[in-house]
Structure 1
Amino acid sequence: MTPDPTASAAPGPASAAAPSDSSITAPRLRAGVIGLGWAGQQHVAAYAAHPDVDLVALSAMEEHLLTRFGDEHGVELRYPDWRQMLAEAELDIVSIATPTFLHSTMAIAALEAGIHVLTEKPMAENAANAEAMVEASRRAGRVLDVSFNHRRRGDVTALAGVVASGVLGDIYYAKTGWIRRQGIPGLGTWFTKAESSGGGALVDIGVHMLDMTLHLLGEPEVLTASASTHAEFGPRGRGGSGFGVSQQEAGAPFEVEDLATAFLRLEGGSTLLLESSWAQWIPHDLCYVTLYGSEGGATLEWGGGEDRLIIHTEVEGMPAEIRPAIGADGGHAAAVASFVADVRSGDWAGHDGSLALRRAQVLEACYASARTSAEVTLPA
Structure 2
Amino acid sequence: MTTDDDARVPPLRAGVIGLGWAGQQHVAAYAGTPGVDLVALAAQEEHLLAEYGEAHQVPIRTTDWRELLDADLDVLSIATPTFLHAPMTISALQSGIHVLCEKPMAEHAEAAERMVRAAEQAGRVLDVAFNHRQRGEVQALKQVIDSGVLGRIYYAKTGWLRRAGIPGLGTWFTKNERAGGGALMDIGVHMLDMTLHLMGEPEVITASAATHAEFGPLGRGGSGFGVSELEEGTPFEVEDLATAFLRLDGGATLLLESSWAQWIPYDQCYVMLYGSEGGASIEWGGTGRDPYERLNVWTEVSGVPAELAPHVGPHGRHAAAVTGFLAKVRSGAHQQYTGRDALHRARVLDACYASAGTGTEVRLGSAVPATAAASRTSTIQETP
User: What TM-score do the two structures reach when normalised by structure 1?
Assistant: 0.91
Distance 1:250 1:286 in 2: 32
Q: Which of 140, 143, 154 is 1:172 aligned to?
A: 154
**Of 95, 109, 129, the match for 2:91:** 109
**Structure 1 residue 325: deviation in Å?**
1.2
Query: What residue number does 2:117 align with?
Result: 135
Contact 1:26 1:344 in 2 (8 A): no
Aligned residues between the structures:
357
CA shift at 1:26, angstroms?
Answer: 3.5
Bigger drift between 180-189 and 162-171 goes to: 162-171
Cα RMSD of the aligned pairs, angstroms, is 1.9
Deviation at 1:379, TM superposition (A): 2.3
- SS in structure 2 opposite 1:360? helix
1:326 lines up with 2:312 in the alignment: yes
Which amino acid in the other structure matches residue 104 of structure 1? A
Call closer, same or farther: CA 1:104–1:148 in 2, change over 3 Å.
same
| 2:20 counterpart (19, 29, 37) | 37
| Partner in structure 2 of residue 370 of structure 1 | 356
2:268 match: 286
SS in 1 for 2:284: strand
Which of 324, 327, 331 aligns to 1:345? It is 331
Verify the 8 A CA contact 2:43 2:63 in the aligned structure 1.
yes
1-side partners of 2:230 and 2:90: how far apart?
28
SS state of the match for residue 241, structure 1? coil
The match for 2:240 is: 258
CA contact (8 A) 1:59 1:80 kept: yes
Instruction: Report what 1:316 is aligned to.
Output: 302
Alignment pair present for 1:65 and 2:48 = yes
Identify which of 210, 225, 231 aligns with 2:192: 210
Query: In the alignment, is residue 358 of structure 1 matched against residue 344 of structure 2?
Result: yes
Residue identity matched to 1:322: L
Question: Which digits, 9 at most, give the CA deviation of each residue in 1:177-231, with x for residues without a partner?
Answer: 0000000001000000010000000000000000000000000000000000000
**3-state SS in 2 of match to 1:272:** strand
SS of residue matched to 2:211: strand
The CA distance in 1 between the partners of 2:108 and 2:327, in whole Å, is 28
Question: 2-side partners of 1:115 and 1:218: how far apart?
Answer: 29
State the one-letter code of the partner of 2:169. Answer: L
Distance in 1, matches of 2:62 and 2:230, equals 24
Answering whether residue 105 of structure 2 is matched by residue 123 of structure 1, we say yes
State the alpha-carbon separation in 1 of the partners of residues 311 and 140 from structure 2.
7
Who is 1:16 aligned against? none
- Kept in 2, the 8 Å contact 1:185–1:242? The answer is no
Query: What is the DSSP-based 3-state SS (H/G/I as helix, E as strand, rest coil) of the residue aligned with 1:174?
Result: strand
Letter of the structure 1 residue corresponding to residue 365 of structure 2: P
Q: Deviations over 1:55-80 (max 9, x none)?
A: 00100010000000001111121011
**SS across alignment from 2:106:** coil
Q: Percent identity?
A: 70
**Kept after mapping to 1: 8 A contact 2:41/2:49:** yes
Mapping for residues 210-289 of structure 1, pairs under 5 Å? 210-242=192-224, 249-289=231-271
Q: Distance in 2 between matches of 1:99 and 1:114?
A: 23
Alpha-carbon distance in 1 for matches of 2:223, 2:11: 40
Structure 2 counterpart of 1:306, from 292, 295, 310: 292
The CA deviation at 1:248 is: 7.2
- TM-score, with normalisation over the residues of structure 2? 0.90
Match of 1:199 in 2: 181
> Shift in Å at residue 27 of structure 1?
2.0
Q: Distance in 1 between matches of 2:277 and 2:327?
A: 36
Counterpart check, 1:95 vs 2:85: no
- One-letter code aligned to 1:121: K
- Structure 2 residue aligned with 1:49: 32
Q: Which residue of 2 aligns with 1:28?
A: 11
**Unmatched tracts of structure 2, length 5 or more:** 367-384
For 1:335, give the aligned amino acid.
A
Change (3 A) 1:23 1:37: closer
User: Judging changes above 3 Å, is the alpha-carbon distance between structure 1 residues 311 and 113 closer, same or farther for their aligned structure 2 residues?
Assistant: same
Q: Show structure 1 runs of 5+ residues with no match.
A: 1-21
1:9-28 equivalent positions in 2, closer than 5 A: 25-28=8-11
Q: Give yes or no for the alignment of 1:190 onto 2:176.
A: no
Partner secondary structure for residue 334 of structure 2 = coil
